[in-house]
Amino acid sequence: MPIIRLETRIIASPERCFDLARDVGLHQRSTASTRERAVAGVTSGRLGPGDWVTWEAIHFGLRLRLTSRITQFDPPHRFIDVMVRGPFERLEHVHEFSRSGDATEMRDLFDYASPLGILGRIADALVVRHYLERFLQKRNAYLKEVAEQGS
């Protein structure tokens, strides 16, 4: 089962980073290349405990929908969103924030499984994992830029 781990150092407070990471509008702007938009649930503002959102986006030339729910919420340290409906067999995204001097260490743990058994595992090895890692890195770079502009 693939797990993507990312760390991003941001010169901003954990509170600011935590709030930006759960902001629906920022998410949409950071994923403009895939035309990602919130189409149901919380479609603006910030996600909070128990909230859910359905995202629609274009990935691999396909229009896909993914619904996730915030299942753990510990501001400004951690929140977890879990897919409740969508294209993966399962998906859990852990977002963690900790102070490190004048900065925040933002950590992502993206734990997922593609559908289709062995075919999904082959797709992961060939393309999906790299695609998702780049997608998350771009999103984190955008969040970092916005967070540091406001510090």
Here the tokens at position 88 are: 């993966």
Beta-strand relationship, 52-59 and 78-85 = unpaired
pLDDT at 83: 98
Which one, of 106, 100, 95, lies nearest residue 144 by Cα? 106
Q: 63 - beta bridge partners?
A: 58
**Total Cβ atoms within 10 A of residue 53:** 20
Question: Tell me, which fold does domain 3-149 have in CATH?
Answer: Alpha-D-Glucose-1,6-Bisphosphate; Chain A, domain 4 (3.30.530)
CB 102 within 8 A of CB 17: no
Torsions phi, psi for 101 (to 5 deg): 65, -125
* Local confidence pLDDT in tens for the 151 residues of the chain: 689 999 999 999 999 999 999 999 999 999 999 999 999 999 999 999 999 999 999 999 999 999 999 999 999 999 999 999 999 999 999 999 999 999 999 999 999 999 999 999 999 999 999 999 999 999 999 999 999 996 5
Here the tokens at position 29 are: 């702007």
Q: 77 - beta bridge partners?
A: none
Which one, of 109, 85, 97, 100, lies nearest residue 21 by Cα? 97
The pTM assigned to this predicted structure is 0.93
Tell me how far apart the alpha carbons of residues 140 and 103 are, in angstroms, rounded to a whole number. Answer: 15
Query: In this structure, is the dihedral angle defined by the CA atoms of residues 83, 97, 132 and 24, taken in order, positive or negative?
Result: positive
